[in-house]
Amino acid sequence: MKFAHIRRLAALGVVLTGAAAACKADLGLSIDFSLEGQTMTIEAFTELTAATGGKLFQSTGTGDMAALAGQAMTDGLVPGAAVDIAFVVDTTGSMGDDIDAVKAKLSDLVSDLASQNPDWQVGVAEYRDIGDPFIAQLVQPLTPDEPLVQAGIAALDVDGGGDYCEHVYQGLDTAIADFAWRVGSHHRIVLIGDAPPHRYAGDPHTFDSVIAAANADDVQINAVVPECDAICAALVQLLGGGSCD
């Protein structure tokens, strides 16, 4: 589903959400689809980060995405130590309201890293979902070439998606397997996404596969979770508040 379609869906979803809330109110119940969506993502990403010794950074909806991306990238790094950092970004349509701020901050962070640390590499990967032109791909392999990294960040663009959950696991598996992590450097993934992982039956890309691969290559995953906005809430409602199976 294209981004314009998702926007129309969001507008419809806001109306449906209000109707559903009114119906629930008649029964003495209520549901906040934004809260439910963000809770689902936070729970899934917390599990991923905790299993790799990383941290989760949660948006409070106050335009803090840029600062959170910076924290996820730099938290706990030893100044001047060798680092390999991979940005793994959800580029489905629901990220449309966050992607520009994220890209601007990542660009600034890479510039700062290049000026302060002589021993660094940065790479860029993105993921979407089944039915999109790609599920997961490397945009820029790990490199110390700042112009190449900046071009990779600039190339990120949102489209597709169509349901709430996304193929987070394949995005992470692709990054861990395909990036050339250096021996002796700190290995970190900065995961940025607003939806939890799909769990497709029979899919080789799972929580267990991600954690096994990350631990084998000593990759720490830090995650940034944006606020679940109207588009996100509409998609959560269509999911029925259920699971991502």
pTM (2 decimals)? Answer: 0.86
51 is written with which tokens?
A: 């299993």
Four-way CATH pick for 47-226: 2.60.120.260, 3.40.50.410, 3.30.1700.10, 3.10.580.10: 3.40.50.410
Max mean pLDDT range (28-32, 193-197, 241-245): 193-197
Whose tokens are 């959560």? That residue is 236
Query: Is the Cβ–Cβ distance between 36 and 43 less than 8 Å?
Result: no
pLDDT tens sequence across 164-189: 899 999 999 999 999 999 999 999 99
Give Cα 28 to chain centroid, integer Å: 35
pLDDT tens sequence across 73-120: 999 999 899 999 999 999 998 888 788 888 999 999 999 999 999 999
pLDDT tens sequence across 124-170: 999 999 999 999 999 999 999 999 999 999 999 988 877 889 999 99
